[in-house]
Structure 1
Amino acid sequence: MDDIFNQIAEVVFPESLPDPNYFEELYPPRNLSASAFVTRIAPSPTGFFHIGSLYTALICKLFAHQSDGVFYLRIEDTDKKREVEGSTNLIINTLLRYGLKFDEGPDKYGRELGSYGPYVQSSRATIYFSFIKNLLQHGKAYPCFCSPETLDELRVKQQSSLSRQGYFGQWAVCRHKTPEEQLQELKTGKPFVIRFRSEGSFEQKIKVADLILGTRELPENDQDFVIMKSDKLPTYHFAHAIDDHLMRTTHVIRGDEWFSSVPIHLQLFKALKFEAPKYAHIAPIQKKVGNSKRKLSKRKDPEANIEYFDAEGYPKQAILDYLINLMNSDFEKWRNKNPNEQIELFNISFERLKKCNGALFDFDKLNHISKQIIAGMTAGDLYEEVLKWAKENDRSFASVLVNNADYAKNILSIERGETEKARKDLIKYSDMKEKFMFFFDEYFDLNKKKKEQILLHNGFDLNEVKKIINEFIESFEDGDSKEVWFSKMKEIGNNYNYAESVRMQKNNPHLFRGNIGDMVKIFRILLSGSTQTPDLYSMIKVMGRQRVISRLNLVS
């Protein structure tokens, strides 16, 4: 019997192939401690990078590095029909942009880091062929010649007879062909795939130990699944088993949509005489819609795409901090005590992941974290980050920032650096244009008519406004300290019956028309077009005398 199996294997793979033992020696067990994790992120290059993939990659990196292990990137590109050009570089660049530097894997220049590659599945054909040939030689796999039409007919028959779906038992047509019949059909050149010969029984249950989901029972696999397609590319199930073994992966951390496939994978590991890795299946990040929850959708939710956050200008650190907070809510306390520490110093655990599995995506929480991070930046650092964002997403704004670099930095320095009073109105870098565009003459288009309309809407008398402005211009000196400036503003206010403070107005409401805060709204409106602005004195200092008087003169 072995001879006929060898003949089948030679027809399928007529080329000379190394024995599987060659690869076992080429990729020996890693020289790491028994407690070290070897983890991987293994995306397919089929489109945009999902935030859930970033979440998984972050978990994998943290577990690997906190155990002095290895975190590597593997590109699973065996499904060529779904592959999107440029996606591999997108994956690599996204991981690096978010600081998730992998210890091993391909880079964007086609080079590879590490001794356990190739790390791109389409470059590992010889390895897969060697192990598939070995399975054929031992009768653990066989060629299947069923056409798509034949498989469709099988499905119809199963449906009409209310049978379970799939290619197994009596429905596994080619399984029941003798090796001699299989060899004869191979020699005719008929198209074929290679199927794994399952020895499992669906009636039997196996216990699957999962580090997040716990121990659960699943039916044993009895499907003769395809391990090599007609184009000679391996399927995901087979390729990942070979790769995880030869790359010496200790922990497979992935989405829980793969949990039902564990019986297939364990069966493969056993047939190949490999030690199976430990599994941890993560529930997808979810979104609340009305009273129900669902996983973030590639089609429905823009925030599923990590590029959404880049385009909006969220700090990379805000995204990472938020994702770790989803893994372990204790992270927020840790971050408050360690605002400048690297996230790798925060230890995560499977116990905490169990409690947080299937977390809801919360924009309010993300925005809070992002505000804190931006508020803690220096004006110079924030300017550089905003400029970097603008160059990629808003080139006209980038030009304004470059042409007014010192001015822009001064704008960003307003109420920054005072820990207790640091402004927290910027959630993301794109907010600078919206919040502060009035500072820039290139964007400030509030003409006399518009200003008068806003003033009238806020209850101001235009003639009185002109008098207040004229008095201010006469007394305004660039070198005035805040105390001197405010003293002058109070003096002007007194001339027009504005109380010097809110308390003074409250104590004597019948004596005053308002307080100094009401009067300075005039200046806020004329300088910015709004009554809500940063600190007025700081605004005036940053804008400078010429710009301030120019804008005030529109009504004077």
Structure 2
Amino acid sequence: MDDYKKLADLIFPNINKSVADYEKEYPERNLKEGAKVTRYAPSPTGFMHIGNFYSSVINYVLAKQSGGVFFLRNEDTDSSRELSGAVEYIRHVLEHYHINPDEYEYRDINKEAGNYGPYIQSERKDIYHAFIKELVSQGKAYPCFLTQEEMDEIRATQTAGKKRIGIYGKYAKYRDLSPVDAMERIKSGEKYTVRLKSSGNFFNKFKFNDLVFGEMEFPENDIDIPIMKSSNLLPTYHFAHLVDDHLMRTTHVVRGQEWMSSVPVHYELFKTFGFKMPKYIHTPLILKKDGDKIRKISKRLDPEARMTYYEEKGYPVYSLIEAIMTIANSNYEQWREGHPDADFTEFEFSPKKMSSAGALFDLDKLDNISKNYLSKLKASEVFDGLDEWSKIYDTDFNALINKHKDYTISVLNIEREQKKPRKDFACFSEVKDNIWYMYNELFDGAIFDFSFLKHEEDAKKIISTYLNEYFDINDDKDTWFNKIKELTEKMGYCSNMKEYKENPDNYRGSTADISNVIRVALTTKLTTPDLYEIINILGDAEVRARFSKICG
């Protein structure tokens, strides 16, 4: 074994710490029994999407409900594909939705928390090297000198022969190269990749328990997977996963179902070092309904796959988290009905309650959740949310609502403080379309359509008669409505809706038509919140001015 040790020293001449040293440096966490240590470990090769967020919420809930630890790890070993701003955006999303990790490292703001770092993989190179060095010194890993051309040729041969793709068996050309010969080739400057010397047999099966999918069987890994390239000296994803989750004492790994195929590799890596594997929760695919089909949500096709979508639309933080929890566990909605004011982390999340068939993410369901939530807020709270959103996404509207802050809160309060409040908008981007007509600055140039009347020419006469004979801003609601009925009869319209429905041809229209003429004159819309409240908030002068624009 001395030659293997010499080979390890040649590859890693400056690595003096051993695996045992790091075991002492990162001891088992002192947590209560049953506490879960989870992590969100994104790669900054793309911007955060709904699947990432789904995973981070589940990790957060598992840690919080068990009194454990949720940490953030930046898996930045693929520097060639790293996107500028991706790391910062991950931090922004977690902060925006209050999914705050207990341990993290934010290089851009020079902020760190936790005793199990570094939490950025590119800063952990010496740690990985110590683990790889131990494998090489024990003859469990070796330098492979296959060129890219040779590997392409192997792949082509395997593909043509319908063989499994990879470096195994007879394709592992340098697996049994002596340490002495390997050292000579390294000294001569040949490029190499360090590969695991797999001890697996593909024809043997092992049992694996996933907390969502239950007990499963996999073939053993027999591929000599790469664990480090000499070009950048950084470990591969699989090897970094082993080292980091072991030393950071991760108890539960939450990751997408698409990673299920890597289980045999990770199983062998943990087995090689004799480490206990974390428990795995492979989250089902996030699906959407597309016409008559149900398919996987797509970052390329679906705007709602991007996390930016929800902020741009102005969905409240609460709404998106509720929607995620609803698809995460089948019994969450029932729990929420019984605990309307509880924090979502109080829900007892169970991987067994996840659907292995996939999680159907429905924007209509999100809208319903959000409408219900927003309808229960105070008008001042809705204003605060609208203010925060519009500062970024509609600065002109933000200036307008702040110019008329108290007025805007009154507008937002229409039909709010009642047993069944209105549910007109699901996100803050929809508010303007629902209340724009309440602002003079936006109402100028409005277009009025009275084509809903049987006799469209009646519109001006209805408005002028109401303005000159019936309108009084000081009327209470009952008086106001009685006047509308009087106006209805005066104009030859029917004030009894039952009678009108039975004999519509006997009348020019109904009370509803009279009300809608007034409604359209003041708002341009046929559907609005309570017309009486709109009139009173607009005020005497503005109501008269709007009527006069139509009547002349």
TM range (shorter): over 0.9
Q: Residues 476 and 10 of structure 1: is their aligned pair in 2 closer, same or farther, counting only changes over 3 Å?
A: same
Query: Counterpart in 2 of 1:87?
Result: 86
2:280 counterpart residue number: 279
Give the distance between the partners of 1:22 and 1:152, measured in 2 at CA.
40
Q: Is residue 552 of structure 1 aligned with residue 551 of structure 2? A: no
User: Which residue of the partner structure matches residue 236 of structure 1?
Assistant: 237
Q: Deviations over 1:370-427 (max 9, x none)?
A: 110111111111111112111121222222222222221111111102122x111212
- Which segment drifts farther, 214-223 or 459-468? 459-468
CA drift at 1:329: 3.1
CA gap 1:485/1:31 in 2 versus in 1, 3 angstroms: same
Task: Name whichever of 200-209 and 331-340 sits farther off.
Answer: 331-340
Instruction: Tell me, in whole angstroms, the C-alpha distance in 2 between the residues paired with 1:316 and 1:466.
Output: 49
Whether the 8 Å contact between 2:15 and 2:130 is mirrored in structure 1 is no
**Contact conserved, 2:455 with 2:508, CA < 8 A, in 1?**
no
Local SS of the residue matching 2:300 = coil
Q: Which residue of 2 aligns with 1:531?
A: 526
Aligned to 2:309: 308
SS across alignment from 2:109: coil
What is aligned with 1:73? 72
Segment drifting more, 470-479 vs 95-104:
470-479
For 1:531, the aligned partner's letter is: L
Q: 1:205·1:219 contact (CA, 8 Å) conserved in 2? A: yes
| C-alpha separation in 2, matches of 1:5 and 1:512 | 102
2:259 counterpart letter in structure 1: W
Provide the rounded CA distance (Å) in 1 between the counterparts of 2:444 and 2:412.
Answer: 21
Are residue 493 (structure 1) and residue 488 (structure 2) matched?
Answer: yes
Cα distance, 1:89–1:554 mapped onto 2, change above 3 Å: same
Aligned: 1:326 with 2:327: yes
- Does the CA-based 8 Å contact 2:206-2:220 persist in structure 1? yes
For 1:70-107, what per-residue CA distance to the aligned partner results, in whole angstroms no more than 9, with x for missing partners?
Answer: 11111111111211111111111101211211111123
User: Residue 400 of structure 1 aligns with which residue?
Assistant: 400
Q: For the residues of structure 1 that align with 2:537 and 2:339, how far apart are their CA atoms?
A: 33
Partner Cα distance (1:381, 1:525) in 2: 29
Contact 2:370 2:426 (C-alpha < 8 Å) held by counterparts: yes
CA distance in 1, matches of 2:315, 2:398: 17
Residues 188-233 of structure 1 show CA distances to partners (whole Å, capped at 9, x for unaligned) of: 1222221111011111111111111111111100111111122101
- 1:254 match: 255
Question: Residue 245 of structure 2 aligns to which amino acid in structure 1?
Answer: D
Pairing 1:478–2:473 present: yes
Change (3 A) 1:163 1:495: closer
Residue 439 of structure 1 pairs with residue 438 of structure 2: yes
Q: For 2:179 and 2:368, locate their aligned partners in 1 and report how far apart those are by CA, in whole Å.
A: 66
Give the structure 2 partner of residue 346 of structure 1: 347
Deviation per CA, 1:213-267: give whole Å up to 9, x if none: 1111111001111111221011100001000000001111111111111111111
Could you state the TM-score of these two structures normalised by the residue count of structure 1? 0.94
State the TM-score, normalizing by the size of structure 2: 0.95
The answer on 1:170 being equivalent to 2:170 is yes
Whether the aligned pair in 1 keeps the contact of 2:254 and 2:282 (CA below 8 Å) is yes
Matched residue of 2:289: which SS? Answer: strand
Shift of 1:488: 2.5
> Which amino acid in 1 is paired with 2:232?
D
Q: CA deviation at 1:431?
A: 0.7
| Residue range with higher mean Cα deviation, 161-170 or 197-206 | 161-170
Q: Distance in 1 between matches of 2:431 and 2:175?
A: 66
Q: Which range moved further: 470-479 or 83-92?
A: 470-479
Alignment of structure 1 residues 53-202 onto 2, 5 Å: 53-107=52-106, 109-202=109-202
Q: Could you tell me how far apart the structure 2 residues matched to 1:503 and 1:290 are?
A: 40
Task: Summarize the Cα distance change of 1:532–1:268 in structure 2 as closer, same or farther, 3 Å threshold.
Answer: same
3-state SS of paired residue (2:227): strand
Q: Is the 1:473–1:549 contact (alpha carbons within 8 Å) kept by the matching residues of 2? A: no
AA of the residue aligned to 1:530: K
Identity among equivalent pairs (%)? 40
Alpha-carbon distance in 2 for matches of 1:339, 1:11: 63
- Classify the secondary structure of the residue corresponding to 1:490: helix
Cross-structure match for 1:217 = 217
CA distance in 1, matches of 2:198, 2:156: 23
Q: Does 1:383 align with 2:378?
A: no
Counterpart amino acid of residue 43 in structure 1: P
- Structure 1 distance, partners of 2:205, 2:122, is 35
2:525 is paired with a residue whose SS is coil
Deviation larger for 488-497 or 470-479: 470-479
Contact 1:200 1:221 in 2 (8 A): yes
Shift of 1:548: 1.2
Over 3 Å counting, the alpha-carbon distance change for 1:183 and 1:348 in structure 2 is: same
Segments of structure 1 that go 5 or more residues without pairing to the other structure are none
Q: Aligned letter for 2:128?
A: Y
SS at 1:555 equivalent: helix
CA 189–465 in structure 1, closer or farther in 2 if over 3 Å, else same? same
- Preserved CA contact (<8 Å) 1:466 1:555: no
Question: 1:331 is matched by which residue type in structure 2?
Answer: Y
Superposed, which structure 2 residues align to 1:421-460 within 5 Å? Answer: 422-446=421-445, 450-451=447-448, 454-456=449-451, 458-460=453-455
Shift of 1:158: 2.5
Q: Which residue of 1 aligns with 2:17?
A: 18
Paired with 1:85 and 1:537, the residues of 2 have a C-alpha distance of 53
Measured against aligned partners, the alpha-carbon deviations of 1:462-497 in whole angstroms (never above 9, x if no partner) come to 466335424434543333221222222222223223
Give the Cα separation in 2 of the matches to 1:6 and 1:367: 62
Quick one: which amino acid aligns to residue 482 of structure 1? K
Distance between the aligned counterparts of 2:439 and 2:161, measured in 1?
A: 74
Q: Take 2:249 and 2:11, find their aligned partners in 1: how far apart are those partners?
A: 28
- How many residue pairs get aligned? The number is 549
CA displacement at 1:291 relative to structure 2: 4.2
